[in-house]
Amino acid sequence: MTAMPDENPLLIVNNLKKYYPVKGGLITHTVAQVKAVDGVSFFIHKGETLGLVGESGCGKSTIGRQIVALERPTSGQILFNGETISGKGSRVLRPVRTQLQMVFQDSYSSLNPRKRVFDILAQPLLYHKIVPRTEIDAEVERLLDLVGLPKSSGQRFPHEFSGGQRQRICIAKALSLRPSLIVCDEPVSALDVSIQAQILNLLRDLQKELQLTYLFVGHGLGAVNYISDRIAVMYLGKIVEIAEAKELFAHPAHPYTQALCAAVPNPDPDDRSKQFVLSGEVEIPTVKAGERSKNIGCRFCARCPLAKPSCRETEPELLPVFSGSSHFAACPFTASEEKPEGEKE
Amino acid sequence: MANLLQIKNLKVVFGGEDGETDRLSNVSFSVKKGEFLSIVGESGCGKSVTSLAVMGLLPANGMVTDGEILFEGKNLLKQSEKELDALRGNEIAMIFQDALTSLNPVFTIGNQLVESIRAHTPLRKAEARSRAISLLERVGLPQPESVMRKYPFVLSGGMRQRVMIALALSCNPKLLIADEPTTALDVTIQAQIMQLLRELQAEFSMSVILITHDIGLVAQMADRVIVMYAGQVVEQAEVHDLFYHPAHPYTKMLLETVPSTKDTSQRVLSSIPGVVPEDYPSIKGCRFADRCPYAKKECADPQSLIAVSETHDARCLLCGLNTQKEAGDSDA
Q: What are A146-205's pLDDT values in tens digits?
A: 999 999 999 999 999 988 899 999 999 999 999 999 999 999 988 888 888 999 999 999
- For chain B, the residue count is 332
DSSP B298: G
Q: How confident is the model at residue A323 (pLDDT cuts 50, 70, 90)?
A: confident
Nearest of B213, B200, B207, B214 to residue B167 by alpha carbon: B200
Paired strand residues for B238: B224
Question: For the residues A21-39, what does the mean pLDDT come to?
Answer: 85
Contacts of B40 in chain A (CB under 8 A): none
* CB-CB under 8 Å, A269 with B158: no
Residue B125, pLDDT score: 94
Which letter does DSSP use for residue A340 in this model?
A: P
pLDDT of B264: 62
A61 touches chain B (CB under 8 A): no
Does residue A336 have a pLDDT over 60? no
* pLDDT above 90 as % of chain B: 50
Q: Which residues of A touch B37 (CB under 8 A)?
A: none
What does the pLDDT look like over A40-84, one tens digit per residue? 999 999 999 999 998 888 889 999 999 999 999 999 999 999 999
Q: What is the pLDDT of residues A277-314, one digit of tens each?
A: 788 777 766 777 666 666 678 888 888 888 888 888 88
Contact A193 B156 (CB under 8 A): no
User: Is B144 within 8 Å of chain A by CB?
Assistant: no
The band of B322, judged by pLDDT with boundaries at 50, 70 and 90, is low
How far is the alpha carbon of B187 from chain A, nearest alpha carbon, in Å? 6
Put simply, the chain B residues between 18 and 57 with a CB less than 8 A from any chain A CB are 42-43
What local confidence, expressed as pLDDT, does residue A292 receive? 61
Minimal Cα distance from B255: which residue of A?
A267
pLDDT of residue A345: 35
Q: Which of A17-21, A262-266, B267-271 shows the lowest per-residue confidence on average (mean pLDDT)?
A: B267-271
Hey, are the CB atoms on B260 and A260 less than 8 Å from each other?
no
**Could you say which of B222, B240, B272 has the minimum Cβ distance to residue A270?**
B240
Spatial contact of B186 and A55, defined as CB atoms under 8 Å apart: yes
Of B217, B264, B273, the CB nearest to A265: B217
Per-residue model confidence (pLDDT) at position A324: 82
Name the residue among B43, B257, B264 with its Cβ closest to that of A250.
Answer: B264
ipTM of the prediction greater than 0.85, yes or no: no
Do residues A237 and B189 touch, judged by C-beta distance below 8 A? Answer: no
Residue ranges with strand state E in A160-280: 181-185, 213-218, 230-235, 238-244
pLDDT digits (tens, 9 = 90+) for B36-64: 999 998 888 888 899 999 998 898 888 89
pLDDT, tens only, B258-272: 888 776 666 778 888
Any A CB within 8 A of B219 CB:
yes
Rg (CA), chain B: 21
B136 and B147 Cβ atoms separated by less than 8 Å: yes
- What phi and psi values does residue A157 have, to the nearest 5 degrees? -95, 155
- Return the number of other C-beta atoms located less than 10 Å from residue B1's C-beta: 9
Closest CA to A182 of A71, A16, A46, A62: A46
How would residue B283 be classed by pLDDT, with cut points 50, 70 and 90? confident
B residues 73..92 contacting A (CB < 8 A): none
Is pLDDT at A124 greater than 70 in this prediction?
yes
Put simply, whether A274 touches B (Cβ < 8 Å) is no
8 Å CB contact of A269 and B243? yes
Give the pLDDT mean for A242-259: 92
Give this prediction's pTM.
0.86
Phi, psi of B64 (to 5 degrees): -85, 120
Q: Using a CB–CB cutoff of 8 Å, tell me whether A345 touches chain B.
A: no
| pLDDT band (50, 70, 90) for residue B237 | very high
- Percentage of chain A with pLDDT > 90? 51
Q: Does A273 touch chain B (CB under 8 A)?
A: no
Chain A CB contacts of B217 below 8 Å: 265
Q: Which residues of B touch A222 (CB under 8 A)?
A: 216, 258-261, 263
Q: Give the span between the Cα atoms of B237 and A96, in whole angstroms.
A: 55
Q: What are the chain A neighbours of B187 within 8 Å (beta carbons)?
A: 55, 219, 221, 260, 263-264
Q: Report the pLDDT value the prediction gives residue B44, as an integer from 0 to 100.
A: 81
The mean per-residue pLDDT over the stretch B288-299 comes to 90
State in Å, rounded, how far the first CA of chain A is from the last one. Answer: 23
Tell me which of B269, B276, B288, B292 to substitute to probe the interface with A (most A C-beta atoms closer than 10 Å): B269
Residue B320: its pLDDT value, please? 61
A197, B257: Cβ pair inside 8 Å?
yes
What pLDDT is stored for residue A279 in this prediction? 80
Mean local confidence (pLDDT), B286-299: 90
Task: Confirm or reject contact between A270 and chain B (CB < 8 A).
Answer: yes
Q: What's residue A169's pLDDT? A: 95
B184 near A CB under 8 A: no
Cβ-contact B249, B256 below 8 angstroms: no
B254-270 burial: b if 16+ Cβ within 10 Å, else e? bbbbbbbbeeeeeeebb
Q: What is the mean pLDDT of chain B?
A: 88
Residue B1 — very low, low, confident or very high, per pLDDT cuts 50/70/90? low
Cα distances from B113 to residues B125, B131, B134, B173, in angstroms, run: 11, 9, 11, 15
Give residue A294's pLDDT: 61
Interface mutation vs chain A, best among B261, B275, B278, B279, most A CBs within 10 Å: B261
Residues of B in Cβ contact (< 8 Å) with A165: 275
Nearest chain B Cα distance for residue A104, angstroms:
17
Cβ neighbours of A55 in B, within 8 Å: 186-189
- What does the pLDDT read at residue B252? 92
